[in-house]
A and B are shown apart, each in its own frame.
Chain A
Amino acid sequence: MRHLRSASFSPLAILFALVGCAGSSNPPRDARVDRSGGGGDSGAVGDAGAVDSGASSQDSGAGDMVVIESGVPDGAADISIPFQVGPDAAFDLSPSEPLAAPDAPSDPSPGVEKGNADAATLDMACAAGYQYGGNGNCVAIGSEGADSGSDCDGTGGQDDTATGQGDGAVDAEPADAASPDSLQTPDRPDDLPANGGTDGATGGTGETSGGNPPLAPTDLNVADRAAPLNVEGTPLFGWVPNDPDGNEIQSAYEIQVARVSDGLVTWDSGKVPSSAESFVAYAGSALAAGTSYTWTVRTWDRTDQVSGTLRKLRTPTRWDLVWRPRRVRLKLPLTWPDSACNKVR
């Protein structure tokens, strides 16, 4: 299998990389498909794989643009991108009772002070007993992984707190939880009413008999797209639940969609007992064309403990200002040790 040594990424090379050396009692280890980098690095199909162009939106002049943003972690992709719907898109669903906008941003243009171009940062709201550890992970307070916000942790191996999803991400900004600009998404789980849910484990310390609460879901996407430029038809939400415990499931989820301009919640799914984590259809009040929305999700585990949510801190309120050509970033789906840390600006 000497051919493997040529750095070919052709299917042929992959094919033979996996086959290894049949029948040999002492197989050459170099023929193995290496797991270095841990889950999420070696093949990248399920990785967020986002190419963050920063081109969050482009004012096409059309009046039929609906923008939906995902609260995605630093490590996965730091921005979400608008998606477009046709003027007759099926958003005229029965209006739900909109919840009061939690802490809607009062300043319509707070991005000015930071410079609009750099305004998008992300934070993660973690469950009680956990704190943001970078790379899209909540880690137990006091654990050694708590400070590992390093950009490139994920390229060398799977660290203790990694979800296996966001590793290898480029340019993970430090969380800015204390930012006064932090906007609308409330510090769940405390602030968000869990409609119809028991929510009894919200204040869980991680020491309950049911193990630890889930970590915030990651890899938020709309119809499998991490950063859609536009979406036609009903938005279909997806995410990946995370949990520090083994043998865990998602027993329920709650999605909240809010209008970016004023924080108006257009849909709160309430606590939905379901294991679904992809292609969950929007079912809130009608979405308006040409309007930006943001969304987030939290999950419950086997023992009904609830996760935090990713929280997106974003200051521009005019979606046509989101396009940021000097902050183009790339997230590489494969890990190259030298290039994975490059910041493309």
Chain B
Amino acid sequence: MQQGPMTAHWLLKALNDAGRPDQVVARLTDQAGFGWARILSMGGTFTWEGWTAPAQGESESHGWGAQALVDIVESLLGLRVTAPGASAILIAPPAVGLSYANGTVHTERGPVYIDWTRPVAGGLALDLTIPVNVSATVVLPITKPASTSASGAGQPTFVSEDTAQARYTVGSGQSSFVVAN
């Protein structure tokens, strides 16, 4: 990776925007080339100022080198805040790449919990817990029409779909979504 750690977010965002979240993962986990995995393989314990910080005499404890966290939350876990105060959020698990991700994102209106799994056989399973007073749009990656279903306390409502995505809205509480393989 030729991008330095402090601006690597833009590369990762571009990869995701181009439909390559798998390449986001590749950049995050590449131990051979410049990147965070290489920092770990070299014994680093924190994000560095540059990919060759020890040799350059740069800081090896550089918070600005951690901006890829944004991409992990937005692109890989799949949560974006889309309205002020997190009154609206977008949840979109990546279509390719990781086989699962889960985590809690703490928004202004409370914690959002996301847990998605991509079975080996294909498809996707997504569980969400959304705070009161938050509306979420859920975008599911699909490969064939009418292959999604949803249920739960948030009363998920199907909105639309095209050849690649199905779209739902869902409210607070715990809800589940399934994309059939």
Known pairs A10-B45, A11-B47, A15-B69; A248 contacts B108 (CB<8 A): no
- Which of B49-57, B125-133, B137-145, B159-167 forms contacts with chain A? B125-133
Q: Which of A14, A25, A41, A241 contacts B133 (CB 8 A)?
A: A241
Cβ–Cβ contact B154 & A247, under 8 A? yes
- Decide if A178 is an interface residue (CB 8 Å cutoff): no
Docked complex: B11-67 residues within 8 A CB-CB of A: 22, 25-26, 28-29, 36-37, 39-40, 44-47, 63, 65-66
- Decide if A63 is an interface residue (CB 8 Å cutoff): no
Cβ–Cβ contact A243 & B172, under 8 A? yes
Docked complex: A1-59 residues within 8 A CB-CB of B: 3, 6, 8, 10-12, 14-16, 18-25, 27, 32-33, 35, 39-47
User: Which residues of B lie under 8 Å from residue A12 when comparing CB positions?
Assistant: 36, 39-40, 44-47, 66
Q: Which of B66, B73, B104 contacts A42 (CB 8 A)?
A: B104
Cβ–Cβ contact B113 & A15, under 8 A? no
Q: Which of B26, B99, B106, B132 contacts A20 (CB 8 A)?
A: B99
- Decide if A249 is an interface residue (CB 8 Å cutoff): yes
Known pairs A243-B132, A246-B173; A165 contacts B110 (CB<8 A): yes
User: Which residues of B lie under 8 Å from residue A103 when comparing CB positions?
Assistant: none
- Inter-chain CA distance A45–B110, complex, in Å, is 9
Known pairs A10-B46, A246-B172; A164 contacts B111 (CB<8 A): yes
Q: Which of B44, B72, B111, B113 contacts A18 (CB 8 A)?
A: B72
Q: Which of B66, B131, B174 contacts A11 (CB 8 A)?
A: B66
- Inter-chain CA distance A6–B40, complex, in Å, is 12
Cβ–Cβ contact A19 & B172, under 8 A? no
- Decide if B149 is an interface residue (CB 8 Å cutoff): no
Known pairs A241-B132, A249-B133, A275-B87; A35 contacts B98 (CB<8 A): no
Task: Give the interface size class of chain A.
Answer: 35 or more
What are 30 residue pairs bridging A and B, where the CB atoms are less than 8 Å apart in the complex?
A6-B45, A15-B68, A15-B69, A18-B103, A20-B99, A20-B101, A22-B22, A22-B97, A23-B22, A23-B99, A25-B99, A33-B103, A33-B104, A35-B113, A39-B110, A39-B111, A42-B103, A46-B108, A47-B106, A164-B110, A164-B111, A240-B110, A241-B133, A245-B153, A246-B153, A246-B175, A247-B153, A248-B132, A248-B133, A249-B135
Q: B68-101 vs A: 1/0 string, CB under 8 Å?
A: 1100110011000000010100000000011111
- Decide if A161 is an interface residue (CB 8 Å cutoff): no
User: Which residues of A lie under 8 Å from residue B110 when comparing CB positions?
Assistant: 39-40, 46, 164-165, 219, 240
Q: Which of A3, A18, A165, A250 contacts B77 (CB 8 A)?
A: A18
Cβ–Cβ contact A246 & B171, under 8 A? yes
Interface of B with A (CB < 8 Å)? Answer: 22, 25-26, 28-29, 36-37, 39-40, 44-47, 63, 65-66, 68-69, 72-73, 76-77, 85, 87, 97-111, 113, 115, 120, 129, 131-133, 135, 152-155, 170-175
Interface of A with B (CB < 8 Å)? Answer: 3, 6, 8, 10-12, 14-16, 18-25, 27, 32-33, 35, 39-47, 164-165, 214, 219, 240-243, 245-250, 275-278
- Inter-chain CA distance A24–B76, complex, in Å, is 15
Cβ–Cβ contact B103 & A19, under 8 A? no
Find the B residue at minimum CB distance from A37.
B104
Cβ–Cβ contact A19 & B76, under 8 A? yes
- Inter-chain CA distance A173–B133, complex, in Å, is 29
Cβ–Cβ contact A242 & B102, under 8 A? no
User: Which residues of B lie under 8 Å from residue A214 when comparing CB positions?
Assistant: 132
Find the A residue at minimum CB distance from B22.
A22
- Inter-chain CA distance A3–B37, complex, in Å, is 10
Q: How far is the CB of B172 from chain A (nearest CB, A)?
A: 5
User: Which residues of A lie under 8 Å from residue B154 when comparing CB positions?
Assistant: 246-247
Given contacts A12-B40, A18-B103, 19 further A-B contacts (CB under 8 A): A12-B36, A12-B39, A15-B68, A16-B29, A18-B72, A20-B100, A22-B25, A22-B97, A33-B103, A35-B113, A43-B104, A43-B106, A165-B111, A240-B132, A241-B133, A246-B175, A249-B172, A275-B87, A276-B85
Cβ–Cβ contact A22 & B66, under 8 A? no
Known pairs A15-B66, A19-B72, A248-B171; A33 contacts B155 (CB<8 A): no
User: Which residues of A lie under 8 Å from residue B120 when comparing CB positions?
Assistant: 25
Find the B residue at minimum CB distance from A34.
B102
Find the B residue at minimum CB distance from A10.
B46
User: Which residues of B lie under 8 Å from residue A14 when comparing CB positions?
Assistant: 69
Q: Which of A25, A35, A278 contacts B108 (CB 8 A)?
A: A278
Cβ–Cβ contact B132 & A250, under 8 A? yes
Q: How far is the CB of A172 from chain B (nearest CB, A)?
A: 19
Cβ–Cβ contact A249 & B113, under 8 A? no
